[in-house]
């Protein structure tokens, strides 16, 4: 699908993580550091499939929509639960080590958040070209607002909606309709852009909006949806194609 013409849009809705911010590229580094910490603290785990178990447990945890929703609202607890499960599965339960590894992972994630390449310039161009912009992000209030403040993003948006403040997150239809109402825009004249196919694309389409999927993983495939949507690799590509 081609993107709607810019003249057909009254508002652009943007996701935060892996849309404006590079959230994904540091994950492997952070888990690698956790892996090394666990082995240093418990040498009896040397030679066991620790890395594979971490990957298996994290995939299991985030694959369930209910766990995913609860986990994103309390990431430290989610990480602790995953690491506790990893150590339990390997026959070496250790709550103190799970806590220590959780703290390390959180500290490293905080250190490694950054703007996606070219995202700020793209955001500036989009801000200048479109009547209204909204930032719509899932997650708890404190970490999401912290990122917004850290990268001085608030001034680019007419409306910012954080799941922890609003009480509902994407892909709930009410989330999108509330944003449209807050912006004074009809849903059919809004474009939602984000990296989560389920939350950002399907949710927006269900609310009657246009949608563009940022395929950060480079899957290069079309996923099924009830209506057509656009696919881009980055926010930079979106700006180039839209403007």
Q: What DSSP letter does each residue of 216-232 carry, written as one string? A: TT--------SS--EEE
The mean pLDDT of 108-133, rounded to a whole number, is 97
The pLDDT tens digits for 214-238 are: 998 887 666 776 788 999 999 999 9
Confidence (pLDDT) at 27? 95
d(C-alpha 220, C-alpha 229), whole Å = 14
Three-state secondary structure of 105-143 = HHHHHHHHCEECCCHHHHHHHHHHHCCEEEEEECCCHHH
pTM of the shown model: 0.94
3-state SS class at 67: helix
The mean pLDDT of 77-91, rounded to a whole number, is 98
Two structure tokens written together for 32 = 């690698």
Name the CATH code of domain 6-23+114-242 (choices 1.10.260.40, 3.20.80.10, 3.40.50.1000, 3.60.20.10).
3.40.50.1000
The mean pLDDT of 149-163, rounded to a whole number, is 98
Contact call for residues 163 and 45 (beta carbons, < 8 A): no
Q: Is the pLDDT of residue 173 over 90?
A: yes
**What integer best gives the mean pLDDT of the chain?**
95
Pairing type for strands 230-232 and 114-115 reads unpaired
The mean pLDDT of 98-119, rounded to a whole number, is 97
Confidence (pLDDT) at 219? 76
Q: How far is CA 63 from CA 35, 44, 66, 71, 140, in A?
A: 22, 30, 9, 11, 19
Confidence (pLDDT) at 8? 96
The pLDDT tens digits for 3-58 are: 999 999 999 999 999 999 999 999 999 999 999 999 999 999 999 999 999 999 99
Q: How far is CA 90 from CA 51, 110, 113, 204, in A?
A: 11, 28, 31, 41
Confidence (pLDDT) at 222? 67
Kind plus residue range of the DSSP H or E element containing 128? helix 119-129
Torsion over CA: 72, 76, 78, 83 (sign): positive
């Amino acid at each position: 699908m081609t993107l709607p013409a810019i003249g057909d849009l009254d508002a652009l809705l943007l996701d935060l993580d892996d849309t404006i911010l590079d959230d994904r590229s540091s994950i492997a580094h952070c888990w690698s550091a956790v892996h090394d910490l666990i082995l240093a603290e418990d040498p009896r785990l040397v030679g066991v499939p620790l890395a594979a178990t971490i990957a298996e447990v994290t995939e299991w945890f985030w694959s369930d929509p209910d766990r995913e929703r609860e986990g994103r609202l309390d990431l430290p607890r989610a990480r602790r639960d995953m690491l506790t499960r990893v150590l339990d599965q390997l026959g070496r339960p250790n709550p103190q080590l799970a806590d220590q590894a959780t703290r390390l992972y959180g500290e490293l994630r905080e250190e490694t958040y950054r703007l996606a390449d070219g995202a700020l310039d793209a955001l500036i161009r989009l801000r200048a070209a479109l009547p209204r912009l909204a930032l719509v992000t899932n997650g708890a209030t404190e970490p999401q607002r912290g990122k917004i403040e850290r990268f001085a993003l608030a001034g680019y948006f007419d409306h910012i909606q954080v799941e922890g403040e609003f009480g509902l997150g994407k892909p709930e239809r009410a989330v999108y309709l509330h944003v449209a109402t807050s912006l004074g825009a009809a849903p059919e004249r809004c474009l939602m852009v984000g990296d989560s196919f389920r939350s950002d694309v399907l949710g927006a389409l269900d609310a009657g909006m246009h949608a563009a999927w940022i395929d950060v993983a480079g899957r290069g495939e079309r996923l099924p949806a009830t209506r057509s949507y656009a696919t881009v690799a980055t926010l930079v590509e979106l700006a180039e194609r839209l403007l």
